[in-house]
Amino acid sequence: MSSLVIGQDTTELKKATVLLNEALLKKDSSVLMQLLDINIGYGHSNGWIQSKSDVLQDFASGKISYTKLEVSDEKFQIQQQAVAIRNITTVEGVVSGNSFKMSLQVLQVWKRIKGKWVLIARQSVKLT
């Protein structure tokens, strides 16, 4: 993979990643609908993998709720039409009534579809 050249596409992509985190914090299903690909595999550090409908349903039901998402050390890489973003994310929230707080190494794969950036895959690993 080669480094992504900074430009308009990077600016739009960075905006999309910020929008995603804001939507996760606010449980904004309309924004999540736009940003998550229909075939996304949204992987969590515990091995839990969600589909797009799983993500939307779990937010709507209250099964999962984020109270903090802080991203640092973002690195962008491009391969053909997709961009991989790696970062460290500090996350806090509640899953099934249990509070959690952790630091994660996150990999997101984004692709431009119909002129908009869409998250097509995500996986995280818990940092110790």
Is CATH 3.10.450.50 correct for 2-126?
yes
126, 86, 80, 90: which is closest to 109 by C-alpha? Answer: 86
Virtual CA dihedral for 62, 106, 45, 37, nearest 10 degrees?
A: 50
pTM score = 0.88
| Length of the chain counted residue by residue | 128
pLDDT tens track for 61-107:
989 999 999 999 999 888 778 899 999 999 999 999 999 999 999 99
Q: Where are the domains positioned within the chain?
A: 2-126
